[in-house]
A and B are shown apart, each in its own frame.
Chain A
Amino acid sequence: MRAGAGVPRRATSLLRRILPRHLCDEVLADLEELYQLRVARDGEARARRWYRAQVVSYATRFGADRVRRSVGRRATRAGREPTSSGGGPLSAVSWLDWKLGARMLLKHPGLTFIGGLSLAAAIAIGSVGVEVANELLYKRLPFPEGERVVRLEVQDVSASRAEPRVLHDYAIWRERLEAITELGAARLVERNVLTGEGRVEPLRVAEITASAFPLTRVPPLLGRPLQPADERQGAEPAVVLGHDVWQRQFLGDPAIIGRVVSVGRTERTVVGVMPPGFGFPRNQQLWVPLPERDAAPREGAPVQVFGRLAAGATWQQAATELDVVSARIAADNPETHAQLRTRVRAFAGRTPGDPLEWQELLVHAIILLVLGAVCANVATLVFARTAMRESEMVVRNALGASRARIITQIITESLVLALGAAVLGLVVAQTIVRYAGTRTALGIDEGLPFWVDLTLEPATVLYALLLAVTAAALIGVLPALKATGASVQRGLQGLTSAGTAMRFGGIWSFIIGAQVAFTLICLPVAAGISSEFVRDRSTHSEFPAERFLTFRLSMDSEALPGDAGVPDDAEVGARRARAYEELALRLRAEPGVTHVTFGDRLPAMSPELTPVEVQRDGAEPVRLRGNYDGYIAAAAVGVGYHDAFGAGIVAGRALHAGDAGAANRPVLVNEAFMREVGTNPVGARVRTLPRRGDSEPGPWHEIVGVTSDIGMDPTDLGEAEYMYRAVSVAELDPVIVAVRVAGAAAPLTPRVAALARQVDAGLQVRDARTLEEVVRQRQTPAVIGATVFGIILLVALVFSAAGLYALMAVAVERRTREIGIRVALGADRQRVLRTVFARAGRQLGGGIVAGNGIILLIAWRAGGGVDLELVAALAVVSVIMATVGVLACAVPARRALRVQPTEALRQG
């Protein structure tokens, strides 16, 4: 007979690792002989099964023997087994743990997929939270000693707002402050710049003092920065370009220095180009000298003031000195400065010495809560997996692995899963940060600060790794402790009996039940969000939004030749009104344009919400409860607004040109408003009521007409109630213009900027897009919210199902022999199944009852009461949850029904 002929090779290989080296050959030879005898007696299949069982038998018996020797401290000499059998090769090499961990991921794809994705989501959430906090709170200016660059803020405490007209104070601070040096000031504006290719583009410009450049310690890439000589009266107008502008607008022209560029209405000479990434003070693209340096107290252009802490000066010293100087200014100018308070703040990030805001701690608490919830669920699945591997744990222990060693192995397997999830989570976090950052920048007029970048910081990556390690500990420790506890000893004694000694105890039962309850609560909420979203989409799809072009119009505040200083708001407003009229005239002359109108917002843009009361015929005013949480939507509109949007007048009259500024302050309301009032409101008066911080109600407005609903602003309770007041272009900044076109409006978009340039070089056009794009952008948060919530719900459903499946799989594994014996004794299989599944049923039922109870409690506390609709909805979701639970138990149930009594009895 050839050695080893016919015996299972893998079992033999394992036996070679288990047996003491000097006994290996002879014991294996004996086993093979016995195997051949069994083949002859019982057949090959049974002989092979018997042979494989000997692996466990030898492992436990030789392992127990080793334990006995070490406990009794018996020392043998010549006949002692080599220590390689005592330590075991598997316990020696830690890299093998990682390899086994990776193999476990492949071997259990369900756990890998569910657990990995869930952990990745939790880590992504944590990474995004920390990254946002880092960028907003902890990031410093990317300059040498950027943390010592400060800004000086002035607050009008009586009006609770900032006071930016501080040129007068700035001059005094420059003279008197010693703890804060290199003071500078800047005014941030937008100017139309004529590019090298003849295009007009509004760019972010800083009118800034020359001292800002040495403050930053950043030298220009080309040429020179602004200098004090450029600020003198009569000096040749200079401009410094940003790197991006130089590359995009002027194609990186190496001869850019000395070139004349049209910035607003002024021809300026390029004197320098700054390096990439420079955008001080916020995200400016060009820098020109600040034209105005002196002003009377609280007059002049609004500016921001910055500086640098002097060498050796502390924040406290700077704050104290600033208080003293500001007090002196206030004493000299009590009429203007009595209510002003000045403080020194870090230019970027949190000011040292500021207490931790509770919001920062809340962010970390939420991150850990989410991670903990996910880990609890993943730990359930890991526990089930470990329970199925109990015999392997016993073998490891028999090979000499200590409890700590086995625990380390299990935690390492969890760590492999968690680290893989961390990598995926970081990729997702980076995508979210880039997307959200880009969308946020579009929504902020000034854009994001230049020191904020959308690449994950190293600190965020480290945080993600820390979360992964924490997750690995959370999901690995408890199953590991369970797998290596007293059950190991029971396993040593009775390993050849079927099943695992591990069971789902109280904690796991609670987790599974809580998961079911959470899923049940999420279901109706998800259904509500989805139905609201579907309703919004269907409403907007009926409106011809693609035929409307919208853009924001503003006028720069650059001084014109002959102006005495920088124009005030009234002059700029008048300039804007003239320019708008001319632009509207030219737009109406374009082919296809049917209407041009304006307002402070358009339909489908976020409305201003305000509480109002209505008074009729001298009666007591009545508060109107609108569809927006009791508030009414309000908008300021120009003449022809409703006509442009196809809304007709159903009562009274439309607004006309003379209404803006009229004594009776006429307003239009819509049909939804009239339905809420209950009667024709024409002739009644309406006014806004005090909101947070306001002390007096607004002035009375006369309702002069009722317009039909435009049909773009649905709420939960129907169309929104609207109030439209008349306004002129001069009063609005920016002006939101709407152009209605007979066909598609998108092709008109490039013409708008060109026409605006022809009208006035200072006229700025931004955000030119169709109303359809506005709607789509407005719905993006709802889409994202619905998607995220849907994913959460799906994960919750999967975890519930997976938890129940794991519970039942372990129960069946544990009770296989019992099932076999009971069936052999004549028990009905269905009845046996019912007893085995009783526990799962209790947890599923308990979770459903708990979830229903929580929802009913919330409904009762919210004051809405419990109605038939709610009960019906709960019944439906309970049925859905029960169905999911039953389906999750289907596979283990099938396995239990297939247990053959003879096989079950043979296991032992």
Chain B
Amino acid sequence: MPKGMLGEFEQVVLLAILRLRGEAYGVPIVEEIEARTGRAVAPASVHVTLRRLEEKGLITSWLSEPVPERGGRARRCVRVEAEGLRQLRETRSMMEALWSGVEMPGEAR
């Protein structure tokens, strides 16, 4: 994969965070991905990816206030940083450029 280009699942997680518009933490991210893709997602994959994205500086996280519904435990919420947005745009541009002019068998132009 070219340097700077996001991995597939990294893109998926970033997009899910963006779709959740600031209410993102592990549970809704998993739910969003499953709802949008129709595929079961291992929560572990999401958590590992979140950790990796934070190390790369593409997202930041913080602990929320303790939530009574979670037995008084906090949520680790995340948001996409500027660098994350930039890499998402760059990745989208690369993919669009690659897709441009590609005809899939059975598709009408």
Residues of chain A touching chain B, judged by Cβ–Cβ distance below 8 Å, are 1-5, 23, 25-34, 37, 54, 57-58, 60-62, 65, 74, 76, 79
- CB proximity of A401 to chain B, nearest CB, Å: 19
Taken together as a complex, chains A and B put the C-alpha atoms of A26 and B70 apart, in Å, by 10
- CB proximity of A64 to chain B, nearest CB, Å: 8
Taken together as a complex, chains A and B put the C-alpha atoms of A29 and B74 apart, in Å, by 8
- CB proximity of B58 to chain A, nearest CB, Å: 14
What 1/0 mask marks residues of chain B from 32 to 73 whose CB sits below 8 Å from any chain A CB?
000000000011110110011011000000010000011111
Beyond the given A4-B71, A27-B43, A29-B71, could you list 11 further A-B residue pairs with CB under 8 A, ordered by the A residue number? A2-B71, A23-B47, A23-B76, A27-B26, A30-B26, A30-B43, A34-B30, A37-B27, A60-B44, A61-B48, A74-B55
Check A61–B70 contact: CB distance below 8 A. no
- CB proximity of B79 to chain A, nearest CB, Å: 16
Check A65–B52 contact: CB distance below 8 A. yes
For B74, the closest partner residue in chain A by CB is A26
Check A29–B70 contact: CB distance below 8 A. yes
Check B55–A76 contact: CB distance below 8 A. yes
Check A26–B55 contact: CB distance below 8 A. no
Known: A3-B71, A62-B48. A33 touches B27 (CB 8 A): yes
Taken together as a complex, chains A and B put the C-alpha atoms of A30 and B44 apart, in Å, by 10
Partner of A31, one of B43, B52, B55: B43
Taken together as a complex, chains A and B put the C-alpha atoms of A773 and B72 apart, in Å, by 85
Taken together as a complex, chains A and B put the C-alpha atoms of A757 and B80 apart, in Å, by 114
Check B48–A1 contact: CB distance below 8 A. no
Residues of chain B touching chain A, judged by Cβ–Cβ distance below 8 Å, are 25-27, 30-31, 42-45, 47-48, 51-52, 54-55, 63, 69-76
Check A33–B44 contact: CB distance below 8 A. no
Partner of B76, one of A26, A62, A79: A26
- CB proximity of A687 to chain B, nearest CB, Å: 94
Chain A residues near B55: list those with CB within 8 A. Answer: 74, 76, 79
Check A30–B25 contact: CB distance below 8 A. yes
- CB proximity of B29 to chain A, nearest CB, Å: 9
Known: A23-B47, A26-B73. A57 touches B42 (CB 8 A): yes
Check A30–B27 contact: CB distance below 8 A. yes
Known: A54-B44, A57-B42. A33 touches B70 (CB 8 A): yes
For B45, the closest partner residue in chain A by CB is A61
Taken together as a complex, chains A and B put the C-alpha atoms of A58 and B45 apart, in Å, by 8
Can you offer 18 A-B residue contacts whose CB atoms are under 8 A?
A1-B71, A4-B71, A26-B73, A26-B76, A27-B26, A29-B75, A32-B70, A32-B71, A54-B42, A54-B44, A57-B43, A57-B45, A58-B47, A61-B42, A61-B45, A65-B48, A65-B52, A74-B55
Chain B residues near A60: list those with CB within 8 A. Answer: 44
Check B48–A26 contact: CB distance below 8 A. no
Taken together as a complex, chains A and B put the C-alpha atoms of A313 and B62 apart, in Å, by 90
Known: A30-B25, A30-B27, A30-B47. A3 touches B42 (CB 8 A): no
For B52, the closest partner residue in chain A by CB is A65
- CB proximity of A145 to chain B, nearest CB, Å: 73
For B61, the closest partner residue in chain A by CB is A26
Partner of A34, one of B27, B71, B73: B27
Taken together as a complex, chains A and B put the C-alpha atoms of A58 and B73 apart, in Å, by 20
- CB proximity of B67 to chain A, nearest CB, Å: 8
- CB proximity of B62 to chain A, nearest CB, Å: 11
Check A1–B69 contact: CB distance below 8 A. yes
For B63, the closest partner residue in chain A by CB is A26
Taken together as a complex, chains A and B put the C-alpha atoms of A74 and B55 apart, in Å, by 10
Taken together as a complex, chains A and B put the C-alpha atoms of A27 and B25 apart, in Å, by 10
- CB proximity of B40 to chain A, nearest CB, Å: 9
Taken together as a complex, chains A and B put the C-alpha atoms of A29 and B75 apart, in Å, by 8
Check B43–A3 contact: CB distance below 8 A. no
Taken together as a complex, chains A and B put the C-alpha atoms of A9 and B44 apart, in Å, by 18
Taken together as a complex, chains A and B put the C-alpha atoms of A3 and B68 apart, in Å, by 10
Check A58–B44 contact: CB distance below 8 A. yes
Check A3–B27 contact: CB distance below 8 A. no
Taken together as a complex, chains A and B put the C-alpha atoms of A242 and B109 apart, in Å, by 116
Chain A residues near B52: list those with CB within 8 A. Answer: 65
Check B72–A3 contact: CB distance below 8 A. yes
- CB proximity of A177 to chain B, nearest CB, Å: 88
Chain B residues near A76: list those with CB within 8 A. Answer: 55
Chain A residues near B69: list those with CB within 8 A. Answer: 1, 33
Chain B residues near A62: list those with CB within 8 A. Answer: 44, 48
Taken together as a complex, chains A and B put the C-alpha atoms of A76 and B70 apart, in Å, by 30
For B77, the closest partner residue in chain A by CB is A26
Taken together as a complex, chains A and B put the C-alpha atoms of A308 and B84 apart, in Å, by 95
Taken together as a complex, chains A and B put the C-alpha atoms of A4 and B45 apart, in Å, by 22
Chain A residues near B43: list those with CB within 8 A. Answer: 27, 30-31, 34, 54, 57
Chain A residues near B25: list those with CB within 8 A. Answer: 30
Taken together as a complex, chains A and B put the C-alpha atoms of A37 and B32 apart, in Å, by 14
Chain B residues near A3: list those with CB within 8 A. Answer: 70-73
Partner of A79, one of B27, B44, B54: B54
Chain A residues near B45: list those with CB within 8 A. Answer: 57, 61
Chain A residues near B70: list those with CB within 8 A. Answer: 1, 3, 29, 32-33
- CB proximity of B61 to chain A, nearest CB, Å: 9
Chain A residues near B74: list those with CB within 8 A. Answer: 25-26, 29
